[in-house]
Amino acid sequence: MSYFGTDGIRGKFGEMPITPEFALKLGFAAGKVLKRTNPKAKPIVVLGKDTRLSGYILEAALQAGLNAAGVYVHLLGPLPTPAIAHLTRALHAHAGIVISASHNPYFDNGIKFFSSEGKKLPDHLQELINEELKQDIQIEDTANLGKSVRVKDANGRYIEFCKSTFPYHFDLRNLKIVVDCANGAAYNVGPAVFRELGAKVIALYNEPSGLNINEHCGSTHPESLQKAVVEHQADLGIAFDGDADRVIMVDQFGHLVDGDHILYILATQAKNKPAGIVGTVMSNMALELALEKAQVPFVRAKVGDRYVLQALEENNWVIGGEPSGHILTLDKSTTGDAIIAALQVLTVMVEQEKALHELAADFKLFPQVLVNVRLEQMIDPYAVPALVTEFEKAEAQLKGRGRLLIRKSGTEPVIRVMVEGDQQEEVTALANQLAEAVRFHATAA
């Protein structure tokens, strides 16, 4: 079996595979593979984490396994996931490992690997690690054990890297920014970056307890940020998720600026238009139409930053992302980076001398309705001719001004029916109608 999902290994702490025992064995297996694939070097791995309490345990277990395999470990402490990707390259490490479950609750955790280039670990290396996990831990020679050192300036290195993506002749001195750190990995470096660029920063949810990460805060719960921006009469707000690879922004009136808005701003309002933009099947149709009007090519990838990255590389483009705020700017960073994405929007604000709401003034999201149809037993909706006919009718009705997306959940017996269009009432009616049709035919089957 493969322990790796589309975004590393993830689950509830204390349950396989997110246990101390498995982390120890995973560290050893990964170390053995690194030694085998780098026979002339003493492999170095950088290891970072978010603020979950369980991160301390997984960090110690992974570190022990890697050292036992003869790998040197550079401990970074709590830092955003993209910081680990950057420092893997900057420190010339052979791999990077981050312990985080991103936007999930505190009781979950995960382990994700980066290659020496700061990118997702190639599939063939994941397979080699999976194979090595079948073997027992055997120490061959205690003279060849690895060591661990703590990188004391990891925070400062990453802060300077983020600042380097903002034009040196600009500053943020005229801006008041509320920053919601989600009690996560960016609790320290996030506010520091904007403060050092001159902004007046009001930090929210920057006191992690190990148990409060993402709890009613951050990019998945921006309500407190919206309220705080208005109360403090700030120019804008910025919210990260637990590992700071996602960003949601808020304008001075408390209105949300999500990933689709950010892609729109970077594609149409910046001085230099990008060659093209990659979204996902979940990107709002309003973005597709706005980019078409601006003559910026647009393609959709499957949900997940891995697929966005793949499409960007295939097209030789640099900007892509998801409505959730996972934004990639490959000319700045190798992976999705919330701080850097926010800085690119701030760059446009400064160069255009416009407020955030002005940059997105001409962009209005289409109404979107999602209905989750829970079934006793999963079916393939596109294998039912009568349902296909219903879907085709809806698509014909929405042609040119809306769309629908019918997809199976990958984790539960649920069909997700999403309808999007320029008329709220029509979209709601169609979504409910199609959901009812799926229920009826699933029961009949």
Residues noted as catalytic: 102
**Radius of gyration over alpha carbons of the chain, in Å?**
23
- Write out the two tokens for 438: 């799926």
Contact indicator for 183, 205 with CB cutoff of 8 Å: yes
Contact indicator for 117, 106 with CB cutoff of 8 Å: no
Query: What is the C-alpha to C-alpha distance for residues 384 and 386, in angstroms, rounded to an integer?
Result: 6
- Write out the two tokens for 396: 């014909």
- Write out the two tokens for 131: 């194979």
> 215: closest CA among 324, 108, 103?
103
Burial class (CB in 10 A: 0-12, 13-18, 19+), 116: middle
- Backbone region of residue 8 per phi and psi (left: phi > 0; alpha: psi in -120 to 50; beta: other values): left
Query: What is the C-alpha to C-alpha distance for residues 379 and 435, in angstroms, rounded to an integer?
Result: 13
The 3-state DSSP class for residue 100 equals coil
Query: What is the C-alpha to C-alpha distance for residues 91 and 154, in angstroms, rounded to an integer?
Result: 10
Helix axes 338-352, 189-196, angle to 10 degrees: 20
Query: What is the C-alpha to C-alpha distance for residues 414 and 405, in angstroms, rounded to an integer?
Result: 14
Query: What is the C-alpha to C-alpha distance for residues 30 and 386, in angstroms, rounded to an integer?
Result: 49
Query: What is the C-alpha to C-alpha distance for residues 207 and 2, in angstroms, rounded to an integer?
Result: 36
> 183: closest CA among 103, 83, 86?
103
> 337: closest CA among 403, 246, 400?
246
> 188: closest CA among 327, 88, 48?
48
The full DSSP string for 326-388 is -EEETTT-SS--HHHHHHHHHHHHHHHT--HHHHTTT--PPPEEEEEEE-SS---GGG-HHHH
The residue type at 68: A
From residue 148, how far is each of 62, 70, 321 by CA, in Å? 11, 11, 36
Specify which residues 95 forms β-bridges with: 45, 115
Query: What is the C-alpha to C-alpha distance for residues 244 and 247, in angstroms, rounded to an integer?
Result: 7
**Parallel/antiparallel/unpaired status of strands 72-78 and 277-280:** unpaired
